[in-house]
Amino acid sequence: MKQKTNVLNKLGSFLFDNKVMIAFAIICLAAIVLSGSPMTFIVDGVFTRITRNTFTVLALIIPVVAGLGLNFGIVIGAIAAQIAVFTVVYFGFEGFSGILLTVLIATPLAVLFGYLVGKLFNRMKGAEMIAGLILGYFADGLYQLLFLVVIGGIIPVNNPTLIISGGVGVKNTIDLTGNLKYAIDSVRMVDIVTVFFYAVLAITVIKGILHLAKKYKLNRGDLTLFVVSALIFGISYIPAVERFLSTDRLVLLDAFTAVLIVLAIFQIFKIIKSIGDKEPASALKKPILLLVFYGALFGLTFIPAIEEVMLFVKLPVLPFLLIAGLAWFNQKILSTRLGQNMRTVGQSLSVASASGINADQTRVLAMIISTVLASWGQIIFLQNIGTFSTYGAHTQIAQFAIAALLVGGASVQKATNKQAIIGVILFHTLFIVAPQAGKELFNNAQIGEYFRVFVSYGVIALSLAMHAWKKFRKDSPDGTGEIAALSGVTAKEPADGG
Amino acid sequence: MKTLKTLYENIGLPRLIIALFFILLIVASIMLGFSPAALFSDVVRRWLMYGTLVLAMVPGIQSGIGLNFGISLGISSGLLGAVLAMEFAFVQDWNALYGAGSPWMTLGLALLLGVIFAAIVGTLYGMLLNRVKGSEMTVSTYVGFSIIAFMNIVWLSLSFKNGELSWPLQGQGLRNTASLSGSFGGLLSNPDVVQSTQPEWLHWLAFKVGDFTVPLGLILVFGFLCFLVWLFFRSKMGIAMSGAGENQLFTTSSGINVDRKRIQGTAISTVLGAVGIILYAQTYGFLQLYNAPLMMGFASVASILIGGATIRRAKISHVLIGTLLFQGILVTALPVVNEVVEIGTLPEVLRIIISNGIILYALSKTKGENQ
């Protein structure tokens, strides 16, 4: 009986903690049912959107941890990327080397912008979000000035496909077909494996030299990594495998199977290890249950309807690896000293300064990281979408990324990888099905489109309001809010605010 | 020398730059051969057109909610009042029944409905803002965006009989821009409209002196509204409200209900927003629905900041100076830019940079001053 109430309590708090996500999931389901669109269309669309947008959404997590709130300033990262994309296209670079050059140009720009934004935010502690929002619009104005007037007007350029016929200003859309389109998506798996192997080889060699020089101690992990990558590299020479790996798209079914196999191997290792360590049998319960669960999931793919969808959807490999890499980075950085400092700064400025952390510097660093990541995210976005809308591609980026993150259940003060990914899936599912659902329900697709815009604004408004309400109840009524913080009236510890 | 310095400090660098820029543009446009009378007519027209929307910022700032980006609530209320009034006038066929009186009645009904909606919405909005003290500006920005997106759905679902409002042949949804020429458009400000539709004794409402248009009716209405707000902040209620905005603790200890004052301030701000958009529409001659009002809140905020207001203090003079400078630059920049560099979008870019730049400056400046 006691256990039952415990479970109920747990369920209750799970429902309460995830209320935004659950409400949104219900809206999504209703919209899917109403729209009557085939599942192949929806799932394919959702995975395309995940490829495009997840990286940018993940770029929002670090500022949240560091107490800067939702970073509306990622627009500026996107702008850095777009300046780089334009430069690369203008000088005629293409393919993956073009992408590398884009990253090479975008990164220092984004570092500079991020540094400036961070400095500015340090002057406006407690009002970063409103400042970031306005800053985004302001930066958009400067960007338009650059692209409409300076390019062609002051910097002479001569390229009739990119420049408006008068010779001043960049055209509305730049076609990336033939230069950067799919430049990241179409990297072959076999190339990834090769590069990965050589990278691991180089790292292992360096570590080995350091080991011999007694500056570093090689451990088992290093060797395992090397052996695994060498094994994969070796397997890639088997003709059948090579043929499979020399494609650039992975059928969802294969990707799903591969992920399940990796997870299963991981669990089997755990079982072997705990048997070896002679741990009690109860420790085996969880891995075995998980194995059964993976088996059941694999079994599900044999249902014709699911199998059809999973065979239809094809994933670009490298973007997903990059997304996974960023999620891993977000996770890892929190366990470093920098990450711990960020957390402390995010929780309380006074505690941070008492423990000798340079709060301002940490905040600037968080902004730099977020801006750089956002610029890379924008590059992934543009190469996937294939047309670069010069004056529109960046304008909604913060809006949609933040809405997606919030839909996943994140708040102004807490955001995780999981929330980001769930959020992207839910938010973009609604984006795909809303017009069709609007058409079925009101006989007007436009209503569906307006509805999704309303939802994206509304979810941000709701989240901000709920956060402010919670904070206001916690603080004294004369708390440390935007206006107080900006006027320095009661700003004892402004960064507690959002 | 000292007085010069205090004068400079009172004006502030950004306002000085913007004022000099404005003067430069005027000189440039006159040198380029544009008619000064036509130019100044335009400046005055735009000044009055946006004036009330900027005036709506004053009660918000004074009552302590900061820059009211959520003025879109008032704007949406006003627009809803206007379309309902126009539809009602059309269905009742006021034009045939009352002739020259019909636009006045439509305008009156639009204002009445708009004010009622805005008062209700504004009160609720004020109650929300009391619960999110400390994050009013961020919350209000997104509440403003949400309401515009919500009203998009409303505009699209309404089916009206008035052909000026609804799309022809569709039966559902309102137009993006509805012409007010058959209704109250230009009633207070356009000499042509006034001369052709109104009786002789009302011709003073808008007339021409040479090339210069004097929209006397609109000047009087806007002046009256400014006077009302000015008077209000000299009344007991208004002084209490300013107190609530200035120092919460002090005001609470002197027995004033701060929360109620903030709700009142927000409601008045929202009501002025509703009146403002109707006056805007009557001057412009068109009713702009859908996403057109999305960024109007930003323009209003920028205007009052250019005028010298801070996020805690605002006066009527800030409204007048700020709107004149901001709109003046936008009006004069267009012909000058077109003549000199032939980039038609440049004034729009200027608008974005100036308006957001000044808001950003104000946000960072207030903090710096107090450190």
Give me the pLDDT at residue B179, please. 85
Alpha-carbon distance of A380 to B144, in angstroms, equals 32
Residue A489 has pLDDT above 70, yes or no: no
Inspect the interface and report whether the beta carbons of A468 and B141 lie closer than 8 Å: no
* Segment 59-118 of chain B within 8 Å of chain A by CB: 64, 66
E strand or H helix that includes residue B212? strand B212-214
Tell me if B262 sits within 8 A of B244, measured CB to CB.
Answer: yes
Tell me if A107 sits within 8 A of A372, measured CB to CB.
Answer: yes
Task: State whether residue A281 is helix, strand or coil.
Answer: coil
b (16+ CB within 10 A) / e for B325-335: bbbbbbbbbbb
Alpha-carbon distance of A293 to B286, in angstroms, equals 63
Give me the pLDDT at residue A325, please. 92
Beta-sheet pairing, B207-209 with A249-251: unpaired
Which residues, listed in sequence order, are joined to residue B288 by a DSSP beta bridge? B177
Q: Quick one: pLDDT band at residue A116, thresholds 50, 70, 90?
A: very high
> In this predicted model, what pLDDT tens digit does every residue of A121-167 receive, in sequence order?
998 887 888 889 999 999 999 999 999 888 888 888 888 888 888 77
User: What CA–CA distances, in Å, run from A394 to A103, A457, B141?
Assistant: 17, 17, 19
Give me the pLDDT at residue A222, please. 80
User: What CA–CA distances, in Å, run from A401 to A70, B6, B150?
Assistant: 10, 46, 20
CB half-sphere exposure, B298, CA atoms < 13 A: 25
Query: What pTM does this model have?
Result: 0.86
Alpha-carbon distance of B214 to B218, in angstroms, equals 9
Q: And the tokens for B32?
A: 């380029």
Q: Quick one: pLDDT band at residue A363, thresholds 50, 70, 90?
A: very high
Q: Is A444 on the interface with B (CB under 8 A)?
A: yes
Q: Is A172 on the interface with B (CB under 8 A)?
A: no
* Segment 170-199 of chain B within 8 Å of chain A by CB: 172-173
Q: Is residue A177 part of a domain?
A: yes
* Cα Rg, chain A, nearest whole Å: 25
Rounded to a whole number of angstroms, the distance between the first and last alpha carbons of chain A is: 42
What is the pLDDT tens value at each position of chain B, 371 positions in all?
Answer: 567 777 777 677 778 888 888 898 888 888 888 888 888 888 999 999 999 999 999 999 988 888 888 899 999 999 999 999 988 888 888 877 777 778 888 899 999 999 999 999 999 999 988 888 877 888 888 889 999 999 998 988 888 888 788 877 666 788 888 888 878 888 888 888 877 777 777 777 778 777 888 888 899 999 999 999 999 988 888 888 888 777 777 777 777 788 888 899 999 999 999 999 999 999 998 889 888 888 888 889 999 988 888 888 888 999 999 999 989 888 888 878 777 776 777 888 888 888 888 888 888 776 433 32
Q: Is residue A192 part of a domain?
A: no
Q: And the tokens for A268?
A: 């089997």
Q: Is residue A50 part of a domain?
A: yes
Alpha-carbon distance of B274 to B219, in angstroms, equals 18
Q: Is residue A273 part of a domain?
A: no
Degrees, nearest 5: CA angle B331-B333-B334: 75
Q: Is A142 on the interface with B (CB under 8 A)?
A: yes
Give the one of A142, A450, A468 whose C-beta lies nearest to B153's C-beta: A450
Tell me if B274 sits within 8 A of B77, measured CB to CB.
Answer: yes
Give Cα A20 distance to the centre of its chain: 19
User: What CA–CA distances, in Å, run from A419 to A168, A327, A401, A415, B301?
Assistant: 44, 11, 12, 7, 35
Mean pLDDT score, A314-331:
91
Q: Is residue A284 part of a domain?
A: no
Looking at the 3D structure of chain A, how many domains does it have?
Answer: 1
B327-331 long-range contacts, CB within 8 A, separation 24+: B327/B43, B327/B46, B327/B47, B327/B49, B327/B50, B327/B303, B328/B22, B328/B25, B328/B26, B328/B43, B328/B46, B328/B47, B329/B18, B329/B21, B329/B22, B329/B25, B329/B354, B330/B46, B331/B39, B331/B42, B331/B43, B331/B46
Total residues belonging to chain B: 371
Q: Quick one: pLDDT band at residue A75, thresholds 50, 70, 90?
A: very high
How confident is the prediction for chain A on average, in pLDDT?
A: 85
Give the one of B134, B145, B148 whose C-beta lies nearest to A482's C-beta: B134
> In this predicted model, what pLDDT tens digit does every residue of A229-262 receive, in sequence order?
888 888 888 888 888 888 878 888 888 888 888 8
Residue A173 structural domain: 19-185+313-487
Mean pLDDT score, A464-477:
71
Give the one of A134, A145, A482 whose C-beta lies nearest to B136's C-beta: A482
Domains and CATH numbers, chain B: 18-364 (1.10.3470)
Give me the pLDDT at residue A480, please. 52
Measuring CA to CA, which residue among B135, B134, B136, B114 is closest to residue B125? B136
Inspect the interface and report whether the beta carbons of A124 and B363 lie closer than 8 Å: yes
Give me the pLDDT at residue A479, please. 45
Tell me if A390 sits within 8 A of A170, measured CB to CB.
Answer: yes
> Residue B250: closest CA among chain A residues belongs to which residue?
A478
- Provide φ and ψ at B329, rounded to 5°: -60, -45
Task: State whether residue A173 is helix, strand or coil.
Answer: strand
Give me the pLDDT at residue A484, please. 60
E strand or H helix that includes residue B214? strand B212-214
- Residues of chain A positioned with their CB less than 8 A from the CB of B344: none
If one counts every other C-beta atom within 10 angstroms of the C-beta of residue A277, the result is 8
Q: Quick one: pLDDT band at residue A477, thresholds 50, 70, 90?
A: very low
Tell me if B350 sits within 8 A of B330, measured CB to CB.
Answer: yes
What is the per-residue DSSP string for B191-207?
A: HHHHHHHS-GGGGGGSE
Q: Is B364 on the interface with A (CB under 8 A)?
A: yes
- Domain containing residue A176: CATH number: 1.10.3470
E strand or H helix that includes residue A110? helix A95-122
Tell me if A483 sits within 8 A of B137, measured CB to CB.
Answer: yes
> In this predicted model, what pLDDT tens digit does every residue of A274-300 receive, in sequence order?
888 777 777 778 888 888 888 898 888
Inspect the interface and report whether the beta carbons of A453 and B133 lie closer than 8 Å: no
Alpha-carbon distance of B343 to B249, in angstroms, equals 53
Distance from CA of A124 to the nearest CA of B (A): 6
Beta-sheet pairing, A173-175 with A387-389: antiparallel
* Cα Rg, chain B, nearest whole Å: 21
Tell me if A486 sits within 8 A of B367, measured CB to CB.
Answer: yes
Tell me if A399 sits within 8 A of A461, measured CB to CB.
Answer: no
ipTM of the complex: 0.84
Q: Is residue A424 part of a domain?
A: yes
Interface test with B, best of A442, A486, A496 (most B CBs within 10 A): A486
- Provide φ and ψ at B99, rounded to 5°: 60, -120
Distance from CA of A398 to the nearest CA of B (A): 13
Interface test with A, best of B65, B76, B138, B352 (most A CBs within 10 A): B138
Question: HEC string of A135-164?
Answer: HHHHHHHHHHHHHHHHHHHCECCCCCCCEC
